Amino acid sequence: MAHSIVPPYLLARLAEADAASMQRAASAARRSLRSEPAVRAERRREGLAAPLPAASASQNAALKRTIADAANTELLPGLVVRSEGAPATDDPAVNEAYDGLGATHALLLTAFGRNSVDGRGLPLDATVHYGDDYDNAFWDGARMVFGDGDGEVFNRFTASLSVIGHELAHGVTQYTAALVYAGQSGALNESFSDVIGALVEQHARGQRANEASWLIGEGLFTAQVEGTALRSMVEPGTAYDDDVLGRDPQPADMAGYVQTRDDNGGVHLNSGIPNRAFALAAIELGGFAWERAGRVWYDAISGDGARDEGDGAAPPRARLSSTATFLEFADATVASARALFGEGSAEAAAIAAAWVTVGVRSDDRPAAG
Amino acid sequence: MTDQQQDDRDGDVADRGPALHERGSDAAPRGALRITVSRTGGVAGLAPHWSVMVTEEKDVDSWLSLVESCPWDAPAPGIGGEPDRFVYTIRVLQPDHERDARVPERALDGPWADLVARVKDASR
Ligand SMILES: [Zn+2]
């Protein structure tokens, strides 16, 4: 295939997308967010703001958030306490959930052209104050659920924007690659949620890759815990070291891969490996992580590129398997990077190198794709 | 923080897990009962555990009646869990008998929920 200065995905998108209407929808979505700092327009790299998938351009990309309160029971959904457009309440958990859903919706729409979790404008529902001292947050297949934390180890789980993004991203994965939540595919499912969680936070703060903390769940631990966050994407295994909780057990490369029956095969442990590959590639590429590494990861998970058969921009690629291994996913990201940014692009090179650093691909492996 | 938040991860991570712990010196003495509950999963990925050792005969009987009411023979959950939900591993050790079960958070109701709550309370 001929090399070109203009990445093939850009040519394809420009040919088919109504970029202008997409941009209007995106800025409308941004304006509707009460507390999200705008990404400074002048910092956006020219040419990378437009190439969004056309699929959602014609759809109504309006946000529809509903926050319910479980009143410290485990009964879902709970009572609705704030609907779309309603003013802030005096409950910080409600407002954090509302704003966090908005920030996640904004990232998906503006960075990836994805209209909500399902790509079809799914209303975003969340429940706060779930359970009694409940130390967790989860996506239950249809809504996000947040506990208040026990107050000794954990604060309320809405306090971290990256955790809100993480949970909604489980919904995105459910509607796209449907990665089975066990073993390596489960760790990839976890890692993609961390990637989106980090990107939501960086996008809301207007942070470049080299300015970001790359922490997941910063601020969730109480002051009694010796630790800054649940996980570090850039330095897995360094997020906490506490006399009671122990040390952050995440491995940073395949040499440390954990075999265990717990946690569906260590999905929250081994996710450190693909997490680090993403952070390393994003930092190497510079700029806003959602524009380059983020687009590639999203493409590999969503299979958007694989659905572009027949547009002539790139050869069709296989959809990611729901039981993908780290290596299969690594190959998928390299293939996506080549299709989106070009065969010999800096993106493809940085991503391939990052997978070598974490031990998933080997240096002498013949180029796949 | 209290002891019930004690994490069991300070050793070799690859070797952790209830199936590999709690044997030997931890085994219950004759006529006694030891119950451990460990919880994995959750967005935080922490693995706290709780345990109780019961030696008084009337206490053993009381705990055993709760233990026996749990559906130990229910089919194990299939491969692939639900994102960020907890999974409980419950083990009961007696001198001549030992059993364990993995119970996803969503299935933790009835006697399972009572048993886990009681172990948590007792280990405070
Ligand atoms: Zn998760």
In a domain, residue B91? The reply is yes
In a domain, residue B113? The reply is yes
**Smallest Cα–Cα separation from A361: which of A320, A321, A319, A328?**
A328
pLDDT tens figures, A217-259: 999 999 999 999 999 999 999 999 999 999 999 999 999 999 9
pLDDT of A39 higher than 50: no
pLDDT of A305 higher than 90: no
B46 — contact with chain A (CB < 8 Å)? Answer: yes
Catalytic residues of A, by residue number, are: 167, 268
Average pLDDT over residues A143-155: 97
Name the pLDDT band for A46 (thresholds 50, 70, 90): very low
Question: Tokens 């509707």 appear where?
Answer: A32
Q: What is the pLDDT of residue B80?
A: 76
Asked whether the beta carbons of residue A260 and residue B44 sit closer than 8 angstroms, the reply is no
Under a CB-based contact definition with an 8 Å cutoff, are residues A107 and A196 in contact?
yes
Q: Which residues of A touch B14 (CB under 8 A)?
A: 258-260
In a domain, residue B46? The reply is yes
pLDDT tens figures, A167-213: 999 999 999 999 999 999 999 999 999 999 999 999 999 999 999 99
Alpha-carbon distance of A166 to A117, in angstroms, equals 12
Q: For the stretch A224-240, what's the b/e string if a residue is b when 16 or more beta carbons lie within 10 angstroms of its beta carbon? A: ebebbbbbbbbbbbbbb
Average pLDDT over residues A327-342: 96
pLDDT tens figures, A78-103: 999 999 999 999 999 999 999 999 99
Q: What is the pLDDT of residue A312?
A: 52
Q: How far is the CA of A329 from the centre of ligand 1 (A)?
A: 18
Alpha-carbon distance of B36 to A52, in angstroms, equals 52
| A346 phi-psi bin (left φ>0, alpha ψ -120 to 50, beta other) | alpha
| Residue A254 neighbours by CB under 8 Å, 6+ apart | A273, A326, A358, A359, A360
**Burial category of A16 from C-beta neighbours within 10 Å (exposed 0-12, middle 13-18, buried 19 and up):** middle
Domain total of chain B: 1
| Residue A252 neighbours by CB under 8 Å, 6+ apart | A235, A236, A237, A272, A273, A276, A358
In a domain, residue B65? The reply is yes
A246 phi, psi to nearest 5 deg: 85, -165
Q: Which residues of A touch B5 (CB under 8 A)?
A: 152-153, 244-245
Which tokens go with A71?
A: 């009143």
In a domain, residue B79? The reply is no
Q: What is the pLDDT of residue A161?
A: 98
Nearest-Cα residue of chain B relative to residue A224: B1
For chain A, the straight-line distance linking the first and the last C-alpha, in angstroms and rounded, comes to 13
pLDDT of A304 higher than 90: no
Count CB neighbours of A4 within 10 A: 11
Which residues form the domain of B93? 3-25+33-74+84-122
The total number of residues written for chain A in this structure: 369
Count CB neighbours of B26 within 10 A: 12
| % of chain A surpassing 70 pLDDT | 79
pLDDT of A41 higher than 90: no
Alpha-carbon distance of A65 to A124, in angstroms, equals 5
Name the pLDDT band for A316 (thresholds 50, 70, 90): low
B12 — contact with chain A (CB < 8 Å)? Answer: no
pTM: 0.82
In a domain, residue B14? The reply is yes
pLDDT of B48 higher than 90: yes
Q: Please name the member of A152, A247, A261 whose beta carbon is closest to the beta carbon of B5.
A: A152
Q: Show the CA angle centred on residue A159, arms to residues A156 and A164, nearest 5°.
A: 105
Residues 47-76 of chain B with CB under 8 A from chain A are 47
Alpha helices in A182-262 (DSSP H): 183-205
Q: For the stretch A284-307, what's the b/e string if a residue is b when 16 or more beta carbons lie within 10 angstroms of its beta carbon? A: bbebbbbbbbbbbbbbbbbbbbbe
A153 — contact with chain B (CB < 8 Å)? Answer: yes
Under a CB-based contact definition with an 8 Å cutoff, are residues B46 and A245 in contact?
yes
Residues 302-361 of chain A with CB under 8 A from chain B are none
The total number of residues written for chain B in this structure: 124
Average pLDDT over residues B85-110: 92
Alpha-carbon distance of B123 to A339, in angstroms, equals 56
Task: Classify the complex by whether its ipTM is higher than 0.85, answering yes or no.
Answer: no
Of A76-80, A310-314, B89-93, give the lowest mean pLDDT range: A310-314
pLDDT tens figures, B21-34: 334 445 556 678 99
Q: What is the pLDDT of residue B13?
A: 34
Which tokens go with B64?
A: 């055993």
Name the pLDDT band for A364 (thresholds 50, 70, 90): low
| Residue A131 neighbours by CB under 8 Å, 6+ apart | A70, A72, A73, A74, A147, A148
pLDDT of B68 higher than 80: yes
In a domain, residue B94? The reply is yes
A125 phi, psi to nearest 5 deg: -115, 140
Q: Which residues of A touch B87 (CB under 8 A)?
A: 262-264
In a domain, residue B88? The reply is yes
